[in-house]
Amino acid sequence: MKRYEPPAGWTVQAYKFALDPTVTQVGGLRRNTGAARFAYNHMLRRVCAVKAQRAAEASYGVAEADLTPWQGWSLPDLRRTWNEIKHWVAPWWAECSKEAFNTGLANLSAALGNWHASRTGARKGRRMGWPRPKKKHAHRSARFTTGAIRVDPDYRHVVLPRLGRIRACESTRKLARRVQAGTAQILSATVSETAGRWFCSFQVAVRRTVGRPAHAPRTGRVVGVDAGIKHLAVLSTGELVPNPAPFKAALKKLGKAQRRASRRIGPFDPATKRKRTASNRWHRAQERVAKLHATVAAVRADSWHQLTTRLAQQFDTIVVENLHVAGMVRNRKLARSLTDAAPATLRRHLGYKTGWYGSTLHVADRWYPSSKTCSGCQTVKPKLSLAERTFDCTTCGMSLDRDVNAARNLAALVRHVDLELPGDAKTGRGAYVGPVRPAPAGGAAGREASRPSWVNAARQRTATDRVLTFAR
């Protein structure tokens, strides 16, 4: 599917609301999300069958032109085939919205496309495996792009195709007023279920005016933010943002709920290695575990949203590190605490919020030793273990908290790069994402000569990662 490109001055944003559906409406929601899963699984089995049949025919020496016609996995091909077979494969198809089946076909097309791109080297990261069928009790979701999609003027209901008017648990005033004023246009709506609760997420094209709200005055020009584990973040101003550690706080309840669920009769018999009918108590125990995980995720997301919104509103320039979190979690002693803190969320949130409030985001080079460098005399320590929580400089005698010292070094990085920022990045109306370094005198030659060898090597490795993005 072609990605939607908003017009100039507009940005794509999501508005998510919790729903309060009736029993009948819950049945309709499950019916449509189940239709998406059914279309996904059926067409996946068809693609697998055609692939196996062609391989078998080729092993017998059948010519390429005489092989079974290939089942294309682009969205138009999958949709064309589905429309031809849906009358006898799913005679109940008229009870659901056509957008529900299109959701499953679009997801399958994307999954197969990603598998092919990963196999041919066009996709970075780990190699993706062949798509797997979706389970019945897995995550339920369906996306609507056409039909009656709107929020009611009473600010308490949403309207979806074939599902009708569904009450929301919270007010939809923010989105409704933007739509009425003509500064927002609803593109699609996605319904999903999380731990027994239903949500509706609207994808909206919004014309946003860049600026700071009146209740958030500027408190400083530059701030360095060092994400950590003991503290959610440490600012160069000396502020220590506490880490709620929601997963650690829920470990006792989660362990008790999982032990209780393991004693219930589940859908798989470990003795006979066969499937069986799960008991109602097993379903209730699984719902309890899912609710605990949903609470942990909600607390973590709320903490990061509050912090990143405050930073984007109160500071002109924000400097963060380019953390390699995937490599950091390989340390089994820190993996649980790192995933609980989710430090990569800081950069992702600030990437678009700085564009909303007119501030600028700088991402420091991944190889910059912010923790080993003295913020007073810029002396770099050759070694600094994780157990040393206080930075003691042997040159100038400064003693400072390790994380505060790193945050101050990050803030000092942008003092000499203002003249190097391209375009509108100097005005603060965007987010400059890329490695930043102090710029000594002497032009490009002077800068190259004054850098240590590890800096030049790191710059060569990250040359392709320098991106300039503007979130309008």
Cα radius of gyration (the chain): 27
Strands 231-235, 220-227: pairing kind: antiparallel
Other CB atoms within a 10 A radius of the CB of residue 35 amount to 24
Query: Up-side HSE of residue 269: CA atoms within 13 Å toward CB?
Result: 7
The strand pairing partners of 207, in sequence order, are 10
Identified catalytic residue from 226, 239, 316, 365: 226
- Choosing from 66, 365, 403, 424, the catalytic residue is 403
Straight-line distance from the first to the last Cα atom of the chain, in angstroms, rounded to the nearest whole number: 24
- The yes-or-no answer on residue 226 being catalytic is yes
Q: Which of 99, 321, 340, 365 is catalytic?
A: 321
Spatial distance between the Cα atoms of 390 and 7, rounded to a whole number of angstroms: 50
Q: How far apart are CA 429 and CA 426, in angstroms?
A: 8
| DSSP-based helix, strand, coil % in the chain, nearest 5 | 45, 20, 35
403 flagged as catalytic: yes
- DSSP-derived secondary structure for 117-134: HHHHT-S-SSPP----PP
User: What are 469's strand-pairing partners?
Assistant: 431
- Give one DSSP letter per residue of 229-240, joined into a string: SSEEEEETTS-E
Could you list the beta-strand ranges (E) of 72-183: 140-144, 150-151, 157-160, 164-167
What angle in degrees, to the nearest 10, is found between the helix axes of 75-89 and 98-120? Answer: 130
Angle at which helices 280-314 and 251-262 pack, to 10 degrees?
Answer: 160
Distance CA 61, CA 345 (A): 54
Does 321 participate in catalysis according to the annotation?
yes
Q: Distance between CA 93 and CA 13 in Å, rounded?
A: 32
Three-state secondary structure readout of 26-42:
HHHHHHHHHHHHHHHHH
Burial environment of residue 314 by CB neighbours within 10 A (0 to 12, 13 to 18, 19 or more): middle
CA 291 to chain centre: 20
Burial call 135-158: b when 16+ CB within 10 Å, e when fewer? eeeeebbbbbbeeebbbeeeebbb
d(CA 39, CA 143) in angstroms, rounded, equals 13
Active site residues per annotation: 226, 321, 403
